[in-house]
Amino acid sequence: MSESPERDARHKARMQRKKAVVDARIARAGDEHGLLLVHTGNGKGKSSAAFGMAARALGHGMRVGVVQFVKGTASTGEEAFFRRFPEQVCYHVMGEGFTWEIQDRQRDIDGACEAWKVARELLGDPSIGLVLLDELNIALKYGYLELEPVLADIRARPLHQHVVATGRSAPPGLIEAADTVTEMGLVKHAFQAGVRAQKGIEY
Amino acid sequence: MSESPERDARHKARMQRKKAVVDARIARAGDEHGLLLVHTGNGKGKSSAAFGMAARALGHGMRVGVVQFVKGTASTGEEAFFRRFPEQVCYHVMGEGFTWEIQDRQRDIDGACEAWKVARELLGDPSIGLVLLDELNIALKYGYLELEPVLADIRARPLHQHVVATGRSAPPGLIEAADTVTEMGLVKHAFQAGVRAQKGIEY
């Protein structure tokens, strides 16, 4: 690739400004404490990003708790994988299938309440560094769980513990309470073009 | 939670409609083949979601290749974790730090080209089910790599192999070539509120 000295100089100046901005932000930042993260939106990657954080946390020697509030019909790769580390990962799958497979609201409510009991135990366990609440947002959206008691349990967790909640349509109160919120937006999806859900990608 | 029969009935009808839509889409969908996914945008979770896909793929017994085009200054949890599985994961970290830490454009170009050589080998290896090109989008954005030869190598990969490319500012040509694209949008970030980057969350 042919490069000009001018472009090199412009690049260097831009990177210097960028470094100054980043360094200043780091200097202002406070001490470590547990964060509440929310992954929402219609795009792909909400749960994947939470499971990537789980891998990251395990790499730092942290323990991880997982509660999946909605169970898919297919066995998932993430469950098969993270169950290999029972000393480091407490993995709980609740519910009995996607809600639109079942169509029984009271059964979904009972399942969500059972799942929250498990989540509350993880949120009360100081040996757990990251609690992953997969599809919690869906349980809140459909009113299977009430927001206020859920937030109260999250707020009462150990100071260093991180929490990540995933699912479309996160309620505004959860977004307000969160430290970091990412909206996974759908730009395009293979499914729209008629491609079947793929092993290793969707599940 | 008090529930009315009307709400239950409405819920059931909605879920039945949703199931019909999902079932119809699945019936239209074709056979399995490898997808090209792109995670871009200013929000958190682009790399995390790719590493979550890696965990998912490993759970299905697939082999995974990773090339990190930009190396952070801190040792990362994901690297420590995935290096535990050398039989299943080929893990390569290229480059020598964030570009704004170095400020030498030619060195970045050389590093990116070396990294692409490694990526090309993974893309030519039919035993690899998922190739993760972390921060490839940045290398393309800054012109460290040219898009056309990169796309040619991606297109020439084995039919079943999935590829995921991450990083802000994915170029339009890459988005056009991709099967699935997610824009990770920043709703809010703890860093903005003065919270230092957290172990297990940011790295």
Give CA–CA dist A117/A105, Å, rounded. 19
Give CA–CA dist A167/A39, Å, rounded. 7
Q: B47 φ, ψ to 5°?
A: -75, -40
CB B59 within 8 A of CB B82: no
CB B163 within 8 A of CB B34: yes
Average pLDDT, rounded, for chain B = 87
H or E element in which residue A188 lies: strand A180-188
pLDDT class of B195 with cuts at 50, 70, 90: confident
Residues of chain A with pLDDT > 90, as a percent, come to 62
pLDDT class of A118 with cuts at 50, 70, 90: very high
B25/A191 Cβ within 8 A: yes
Which distant-in-sequence residues (6+ apart) come within 8 Å of A133 by Cβ?
A67, A69, A119, A163, A164, A165, A166
Residue A1 pLDDT greater than 80, yes or no: no
H or E element in which residue B97 lies: none
Q: Which of residues 86-115 of A touch B (CB under 8 A)?
A: 99-106, 109
Higher-confidence position of B130 and A107: B130
Q: What is the pLDDT of residue A31?
A: 58
Which residue type, as a one-letter code, is found at position B9?
A
Let me know if residue B2 belongs to a domain.
Answer: yes
Both tokens assigned to A20: 């100054």
B136 and B98, same structural domain? yes
Number of domains in chain B: 2
- B150: closest CA among B70, B69, B75? B69
pLDDT class of B179 with cuts at 50, 70, 90: very high
Chain segment A122-179, per-residue pLDDT in tens: 999 999 999 999 999 999 999 999 999 999 999 999 999 999 999 999 999 999 999 9
A166 and A105, same structural domain? yes
A56 and A97, same structural domain? yes
B8 and B71, same structural domain? no
Residue B178 pLDDT greater than 70, yes or no: yes
B153 and B123, same structural domain? yes
Let me know if residue A146 belongs to a domain.
Answer: yes
Higher-confidence position of A189 and A182: A182
Residue A24 pLDDT greater than 80, yes or no: no
Give CA–CA dist A182/A168, Å, rounded. 11
Beta strands in chain B (DSSP E): 36-40, 64-68, 89-93, 130-134, 162-166, 180-188
A125 and A56, same structural domain? yes
B178 and B102, same structural domain? yes
Let me know if residue A45 belongs to a domain.
Answer: yes
Q: What is the pLDDT of residue A21?
A: 67
Give me the residue label for tokens 């990116």.
Answer: B112
Let me know if residue B199 belongs to a domain.
Answer: no
B109 and B150, same structural domain? yes
Give CA–CA dist A160/A122, Å, rounded. 13
B8 and B83, same structural domain? no
A78/B59 Cβ within 8 A: yes
Residue B180's domain spans which residues? 32-193
Hey, is the C-beta of A126 within 8 angstroms of any chain B C-beta?
no
Let me know if residue A201 belongs to a domain.
Answer: no
Reported as half-sphere exposure (CB side, CA atoms, 13 A), residue B3 has a value of: 19
B167 and B140, same structural domain? yes
What is residue B46's three-state secondary structure? helix
Give me the residue label for tokens 């008691």.
Answer: A149
Instruction: Identify how many contiguous H helices and E strands chain A contains and give both numbers.
Output: 8, 6
What is residue B134's three-state secondary structure? strand
Query: A95 — alpha (psi -120 to 50), left (phi > 0) or beta?
Result: left
Let me know if residue A90 belongs to a domain.
Answer: yes
B164 and B93, same structural domain? yes
Give me the residue label for tokens 């699935």.
Answer: B180
Let me know if residue A199 belongs to a domain.
Answer: no
CATH number, domain with residue A181: 3.40.50.300
List the single range of A25-39, A141-155, B172-186 with lowest mean pLDDT. Answer: A25-39
A84 and A17, same structural domain? no
What is residue A75's three-state secondary structure? coil
State yes or no: ipTM above 0.85.
no
Q: Which of residues 23-82 of B touch A (CB under 8 A)?
A: 25-26, 28-33, 35, 37-41, 43-60, 62, 76-82
pLDDT class of B74 with cuts at 50, 70, 90: low
Both tokens assigned to B54: 């890696």
B105/A12 Cβ within 8 A: yes
Let me know if residue A203 belongs to a domain.
Answer: no
CB A133 within 8 A of CB A165: yes
Higher-confidence position of B200 and B42: B42
Higher-confidence position of A147 and B27: A147
Query: B143 — alpha (psi -120 to 50), left (phi > 0) or beta?
Result: left
Chain A partners within 8 Å of B137 (Cβ): none
Residue A18 pLDDT greater than 80, yes or no: no
Q: Among all residues of chain B, which has the CA nearest to that of A192?
A: B25
Chain B nearest-CA distance from A141, in A, is: 12
Chain A partners within 8 Å of B193 (Cβ): 179
Distance spanning both ends of chain B, measured CA to CA:
40
Chain segment A56-105, per-residue pLDDT in tens: 999 999 999 999 998 765 668 999 999 999 999 999 988 665 555 556 78
Give CA–CA dist A40/A61, Å, rounded. 27
Give CA–CA dist B22/A117, Å, rounded. 31
